Amino acid sequence: MSVSDGASFPADKLTCPICLQLFSEPISLPCGHTYCFLCLKNMEEGLDQHRCPECQAEYQGTTALLKNVKISKFIETYKDTAEKGFAPADLPTGSGFRGTLCNPMQIAEGVLMKEKEWELQVTTSNSQLREKISTLLGQMKDSLQSYSDQVMQMVEKELGPSEESIRARVGQASELAKQLRHTVLTAESLLTEEDEKAFSDELQSLNANIVEVLEKPLREDEDFVETKVNFAYACPKLENMNTVLREQLGEIQRSLRNTFNPSELTFDPETVHPNLILSEDLKTVTFSTVKRSYTSSPQRFTSFYQVLSAQSFSEGEHCWEVELEGSPWIIGMCYSGKLPRSGLPSALESSQSSWCLMWFDNLLTAFEQGHSVPLKKTTVSRRLEVKLSFKTHRLSFYNISPTSGKTHIYTFKANLSEAVHFAYRMMSGHPKGRVTICS
């Protein structure tokens, strides 16, 4: 097959819309869209109905589809051309020369256009990332500066009175020294007094002044202890400021982690039920027989042992691994704003705004917007993998076993219309009940 055989085929049809690579075993759906065989097969896994990723038209599965021979031959020709290259001596002349070069030029122009588009996407994305990180670091700097200013204000408030007291004592001492010098000069002038009576009267008066001047510093020394600074009174204030700073920096640091890792997942302290305890890193939930005195929050669950993630997700591809033990459980995704926080409607499995998997009485059940789907698989290990894809509109669950590896459990076809949160429910209050987000 010559290169010119595929010259009329558009260059933008060379790649699979799913993997964005050159087609491998291309097959066409009845609707006309073409994909790699393996790409469609992977998307079908665990589903009863099959739909085109682009137009959502139904089809009967990859086994009923035929290979697209035209695209397959064109891909083979393109690969062969790319490997062998073109030598000027091999090219025909005359009217056939332009036709022979047409297809390679189209391919080259198509590749160049895609590279330029990719360059624009990368530079735009990187610019937005730099701006977001710079903003977060600026917020961190502002929080630290505010903390520094508050601490220094507190220090000045504590040190100010003692400094004022010291300055007052120095002023008093200076005044006493001045009076003493005056007394000394008066005493020296008495030595020239010839009248004994006048000398005696002046001397008595001078003695009284001397005694008064010398006694004043002694009386002030008794109150010297009051000028010493006692920072013990400032410790509660400092601890309150430390708490505020930790909360501010913690929130900024979590936002920074989310920027670097869009799939960052932690539990939200504002939603956790009072009988559930969060670890310091907010990735582990355990049960407590005693209710915790959490701050009042309208987002907190009160009827069921449930908690949501602090992060919401509205785009991209995400994958998490979780460990569950000690208690039956429900995990999945939900619309946070549409899930009540108390009463029977707040249960994950009965909500119209959730997609979740339940393990109870050694049975697995899938719940899609309140409708249950019993599953054949009944045994699960402690570790599960959860995959969320906004591109394929899939929410998938996999069992991860140390012996048998990863096996598919169930996949939801979820056309999500708004941001979703990861959700967990502990079905019974067992002391060893626990869930941990591993990755």
- The CATH number given to whatever domain includes residue 31 is 3.30.40.10
Q: Tell me which residue of 63, 53, 61, 73 sits closest to 9, measured CA to CA.
A: 73
Asked whether residue 249 falls in the same domain as residue 277, the answer is no
Helix or strand run (H / E) with residue 109:
helix 95-190
Asked whether residue 61 falls in the same domain as residue 15, the answer is yes
Asked whether residue 426 falls in the same domain as residue 320, the answer is yes
**Higher pLDDT among residues 10 and 133, named by residue:** 133
Residue range 230-273, pLDDT digits in tens: 677 778 888 889 989 988 888 888 788 778 888 999 999 999 99
Residue range 352-398, pLDDT digits in tens: 999 999 999 888 999 999 999 888 766 788 899 999 999 999 999 99
Asked whether residue 350 falls in the same domain as residue 389, the answer is yes
**Higher pLDDT among residues 33 and 169, named by residue:** 33
Q: Give the total number of structural domains in the chain.
A: 3
Asked if the structure places residue 236 within a domain, the reply is yes
Distance from C-alpha of 126 to C-alpha of 260, rounded to nearest angstrom: 12
Query: Which of 48, 67, 86 is the last residue in one of the domains?
Result: 67
**Higher pLDDT among residues 81 and 36, named by residue:** 36
CATH number of the domain bearing residue 415? 2.60.120.920
Question: What are the structure tokens assigned to 93, written together?
Answer: 């002349």
Type of residue at 407: T
Asked if the structure places residue 334 within a domain, the reply is yes
Does this model's pTM top 0.75? My answer is: no
3-state SS record for 191-249: CCCCCHHHHHHHHHHHHHHHHHHHHHHHHHHCCHHHHCCCHHHHHHHHHHHHHHHHHHH
pLDDT of residue 158: 78
Residue range 389-430, pLDDT digits in tens: 999 999 999 999 888 888 999 999 988 989 999 999 999 988
Asked if the structure places residue 191 within a domain, the reply is yes
Distance from C-alpha of 270 to C-alpha of 274, rounded to nearest angstrom: 10
Pairing of strands 58-59, 50-51: antiparallel
Asked if the structure places residue 249 within a domain, the reply is yes
User: CB-based contacts of 301: which residues, under 8 Å, 6+ apart?
Assistant: 271, 272, 273, 307, 341, 342, 346
pLDDT of residue 139: 92
Residue range 309-354, pLDDT digits in tens: 999 999 999 999 999 998 999 999 999 999 999 999 999 999 999 9
Asked if the structure places residue 1 within a domain, the reply is no
Asked whether residue 63 falls in the same domain as residue 139, the answer is no
User: CB-based contacts of 111: which residues, under 8 Å, 6+ apart?
Assistant: 11
Mean pLDDT of 21-43: 84
pLDDT of residue 313: 94
Distance from C-alpha of 243 to C-alpha of 15, rounded to nearest angstrom: 54
**Higher pLDDT among residues 266 and 159, named by residue:** 266
Distances in Å between the Cα of 434 and the Cα atoms of 162, 259, 282, 356, 366 are 54, 28, 13, 18, 21
For the cut 70, the answer to whether the pLDDT of residue 85 exceeds it is no
C-alpha Rg value of the chain to the nearest Å: 40
Query: Which of 226, 260, 294 is the last residue in one of the domains?
Result: 260
Asked whether residue 175 falls in the same domain as residue 303, the answer is no
Residue 366: domain span = 262-437
DSSP secondary structure code for residue 382 in this structure: S
Asked if the structure places residue 317 within a domain, the reply is yes
Asked whether residue 254 falls in the same domain as residue 321, the answer is no
Contact 277, 285 (CB under 8 A): yes
Distance from C-alpha of 310 to C-alpha of 307, rounded to nearest angstrom: 9
Query: Which of 45, 67, 89 is the last residue in one of the domains?
Result: 67
Residue range 116-144, pLDDT digits in tens: 888 998 898 889 889 988 998 999 999 99
